[in-house]
Structures are given as C-alpha cells and as structure tokens.
Amino acid sequence: MLVVDSNLEYLQRVLNINPVKFQQQYALMSVDEIIEAEAAQGNQQAIKLAQELTTNVSLVMELFDLADSNNKYQILRQMTEKQLHVFLPEMEQKDLMQGLFFFTEDKLMKMLEGLPAEQLLKTVFEMFSKEEIVQLMPEEQLDKFLTSTDIDKNKILKHIQSIPPEYVAQVLEQITGETQDDMDSIDLSKKFGELNPLEYKDALKAFQPTQKQQLVLSLGKEHNEWFQLFDASAYTKVIQREKQKPDVIKAMAIIEPEHIQKMIEELPNDLLSIVITQIDTEKFAEILMEEFPEIMAQIVMM
C-alpha cells in the first residue's frame, strides 16, 4: 500500500479552512476527499486546486512534501524496475555515484572490467601514474604488451635504442648464441630487427623486468592508447590490491554517465529506490506527473 505523509497544514492554509473545522471534519480524509468536499461547498481555492493537482509541480512538491526523502522512497518502492530506470538519466552524476557504495568490491571490479577499454583506462589514470601502472603490472602483462601486433615493430626498435647497449647485447647473445662485440645502440637495434618473428618475440621476453618496464613505459608515454593492451582483469587486480573502495569510487567519477547508469541499474529495486531519493525534488515531481499519472492518482486519493 502506498503511504505518503501529506502536508495537511499546507492544504489547510491554502484552502483557508478553520483549524477546528479541519480537525473535526477532515482529519481522517485523503487530500482528494478534502479538496472535493471543499469544492462542493463552493470553496473557490479548492476548485482551483482540484484542477492544478495534476499540472502544478510546485503545488505537488509542497502538498506531498516530496523534498522528504522518505516520501520519495515510499513512492519509488511501489515502482517496477523499468519505471525506476526512467529517473536515472535525470540524476546528477555525483548522486548516482553514491549508489556504487552498495556494491561489493568484487562486483565493482567486474563492472570495471565490463567497461569499454578507454573508460577503464581513464579510471585507472585517476588512481595511478603511468610509472606506477608499469611497475605494478605482472611480467606476463609486460610481455603481452611488447609482443602485441598492435604496436609497430619499428616503434619498438626505436625505443630499444634507449636501453643500455650491454643489456640488448646480452639478450641477442642469449637468443642467437653469437656474441655482440663493439656494437652501439643503433647497430644492436638493427640486429634485433633482423631476428625472425619467433626469435624477435623471444628476445623481447628475454629482457629483465626492469628493461621491460622501461621499454613499455617509453612506448606508453608516446601512445597512451597502448595502455589498453593490458588485460582489464590485470588492471582490476592491481586496483583491488592497491586501493580502497572509496578511492576507487572517487576515481570512477571520470566515467561517462551512461556507463554509471548501467551499473546502478544492476542494483535491486529497494537499493535503487534509495539512490533515486537523491534526485532533485522538482525533477522528481515532474517525472512523476508526466510519466506516472496512475501513481499520482494513488497519492492524491490517500
């Protein structure tokens, strides 16, 4: 049953009804019944009010005290999931974000993994620097990055020149079995590029973690989008290990609203209703009157 606390003092004042009369005759009546009774007695304000109950937003807000979050909640809890979703696009991002606190950390991570790669990356960059990301990534992810076909081989060879020659020479010797004497960084890079595809991948993986991090970082700084080459699950493992839930949610504010809305839609109706109580009261009243006249009728007849 829908129960909303009506502002009867406001109704009494608007209709200019004597307090004693109001208490004796109307104490147990609904808003609709009071207005109807007064209109029948020729109360012009009641006649006007009856006409405005479904059109005057300010009146509805005041009469049913919709600024009260409990009254909003009592209305929302009667709605279906589909009806509740109507309110979400009209909410401020900061208010929607509060709903994320209802999810467990594990659920938050799963939802982050489901984001488009660029949205996840934006969120990650809110929490970590590029240097931190590279240092925190497991070696297998660095290997995945360096051996990706999405990165032009010439780009990698160019950045290999920034690695101290002795490390590059050591890797080439390990892969080819040949010593690399008296070769500078440019010559070593060329030699690296002459490896067959399988040897080339093995050589990249043969670098020490420190050199891999250096190479990945220099490539990633040149092309931010290449940070998308890391697995989404690798990012969420780092996030869950290094950050607290409030910090994660704060960083998620950078995500486009449509994606936050989809996340909030996964809440059960009772929790979703609590989130929606944060909506601007005027917008709430407008949506209620325009989209759900049958619910408004129930409220008026209480």
From 91, 75, 69, select the one nearest 292 (Cα to Cα): 75
- Please state the rounded mean pLDDT for residues 76-104: 95
From 290, 287, 295, 248, select the one nearest 89 (Cα to Cα): 287
210-242 burial, b at 16+ Cβ within 10 Å, e below that, comes to: ebbbbbbbbbbeeeeebbbbbebebbbbbbbee
- Model pLDDT, residue 91: 96
- Please state the rounded mean pLDDT for residues 3-8: 57
From 83, 76, 66, 3, select the one nearest 281 (Cα to Cα): 66
**What is the pTM (predicted TM-score) of this model?**
0.82
Higher model confidence: residue 270 or residue 49? 270
Residue 154 CB: number of other CB atoms within 10 A?
10
Q: Is the pLDDT of residue 239 over 70?
A: yes
> Cβ(19)–Cβ(12) under 8 Å?
yes
| Confidence band for 24, pLDDT divided at 50, 70 and 90 | confident
| Domain extent listing, the chain | 8-94+273-300
Which range, of 29-43, 157-171, 202-216, 235-249, averages the lowest pLDDT? 29-43
- What's the number of CA atoms in the CB half-sphere (13 Å) around residue 120? 25
pLDDT, tens only, 130-150? 999 999 999 999 999 999 999
Euclidean distance between CA atoms 273 and 204, whole angstroms = 53
pLDDT, tens only, 263-277? 999 999 999 999 999
Residue with tokens 């670098």: 207
Sign of the alpha-carbon torsion through 226, 228, 233, 236 = positive
100-113 burial, b at 16+ Cβ within 10 Å, e below that, comes to: beebeeeebbebbe
Query: Which tokens sit at 66?
Result: 């919709």
From 48, 52, 53, 51, select the one nearest 30 (Cα to Cα): 53
- Residue 38 exposed, middle or buried by CB count within 10 Å (0-12, 13-18, 19+): buried
DSSP 8-state assignment for residue 162: T
Average pLDDT of the residues of the chain: 90
- Please state the rounded mean pLDDT for residues 150-178: 92
Q: Is the pLDDT of residue 3 over 50?
A: no
| Confidence band for 2, pLDDT divided at 50, 70 and 90 | very low
H helix runs in 27-178, sequence order: 31-40, 44-52, 57-63, 69-76, 81-85, 93-97, 105-113, 117-127, 130-136, 139-146, 153-160, 165-176
Residue with tokens 């220099």: 218
Q: Is the pLDDT of residue 81 over 50?
A: yes
